[in-house]
Amino acid sequence: MQMQRWTNSLQSPIKTRHILYGALVGGPDRNDQYTDDRGQYTFTEVATDYNAAFSGAIALLAKSYGGSIDPKFPPQIKASEEYVIETKINSRGNDYLEIASRIENQTAFPPRKPDTLRYRYIVDLSEIPEVLRDPSQVNIRTAYSQATSVSTLMPWDAKRNLYYIEMDFAGQNIIPAGQSECRREVQFRFTYPLSWIPYWNDKNDPSFGNTDTIWAVNRNLPIME
């Protein structure tokens, strides 16, 4: 089995996502003991020196004695989730909500470096009485941002009172090649008018999802590659 890791840990991801068929691993030690653990690479590593000889021998056998190719091999691998967004509440006050969000590039089918990666946080202002509802009064500030740009509040579906802010990472080198290389974070704050305080309900926002005070995967933020 072959993993495709985007962080600096051999144990990430927990579940391997690719199968390497026909390769030899290091194998058992002199006492015929084998440890199936990524961290024990002397047992599990696939190296080119002994695999080159093995592949050459197999190729000679096929040339000498023939054979056929199975049209169903290798089986199709189902792609797993490749971009993951996590959110958490940084802080909350009478007239604001501050959300921390981060996107992680976990692409592996194949690994990719997107040039125009974006994601959006959608809010629902339906709970604000129509006489008070003015989206332009919502102020967006970033306490910390690794994005190329962060938008103001923009209409998503104004008839349904849905709006969004967009985190744009255009031109950034976000690649699945390490803890810092694969990830970008944005902390943004909604500040709304004092007259909205009795009505504001962040939990009805489509992108709020399961957001709490600790990082958790949130699949309610649309991602555009």
**Total-model pTM:** 0.79
* Peptide bond just before 111 cis, omega within 30 deg: no
Tokens read off for 62: 């096929």
pLDDT in tens, 52-91: 988 899 889 989 998 888 888 888 877 778 999 999 999 9
| Closest C-alpha to 127, from 203, 194, 189 | 203
Over residues 120-139, mean pLDDT: 97
Residue 3 pLDDT level (bands cut at 50, 70, 90)? very low
Q: With contact defined as beta carbons under 8 Å apart, do 104 and 83 qualify?
A: yes
Residue 221 pLDDT level (bands cut at 50, 70, 90)? very high
- Is 104's pLDDT higher than 70? yes
Over residues 38-65, mean pLDDT: 88
Residue 1 pLDDT level (bands cut at 50, 70, 90)? very low
Residue 24: partners with Cβ closer than 8 Å, 6 or more residues away: 46, 50, 51, 54
**Residue 73 or 102, more confident:** 102
pLDDT in tens, 158-216: 999 999 999 999 999 999 888 889 999 999 999 999 999 999 999 999 999 999 999 99
**DSSP collapsed to 3 states, the chain:** CECCCCCCCCCCCCCCCECCCCCCCCCCCCCCCCCCCCCCHHHHCCCHHHHHHHHHHHHHHHHHHCCCCCCCCCCCCCCCCCEEEEEEEEEEECCEEEEEEEEEECCCCCCCCCCCCEEEEEEECCCCCCCCCCHHHCEEEEEEECCCEECCCEEEEHHHCEEEEEEECCCCCCCCCCCCCCEEEEEEEEECCHHHCCCCCHHHCCCCCCCCCCCEECCCCCEEC
- Is 2's pLDDT higher than 70? no
Task: Give the separation between CA 101 and CA 84, rounded to whole angstroms.
Answer: 10
Q: Which residues pair with 164 in a beta bridge?
A: 122, 154
| pLDDT of 5 | 59
Tokens read off for 104: 């992680």
Over residues 83-111, mean pLDDT: 94
| pLDDT of 127 | 97
Residue 17 pLDDT level (bands cut at 50, 70, 90)? confident
Task: Give the separation between CA 43 and CA 107, rounded to whole angstroms.
Answer: 27
Q: With contact defined as beta carbons under 8 Å apart, do 150 and 188 qualify?
A: yes
| pLDDT of 22 | 83
Domains, in order of start, for the chain: 20-76 (no CATH), 83-224 (2.60.40.710)
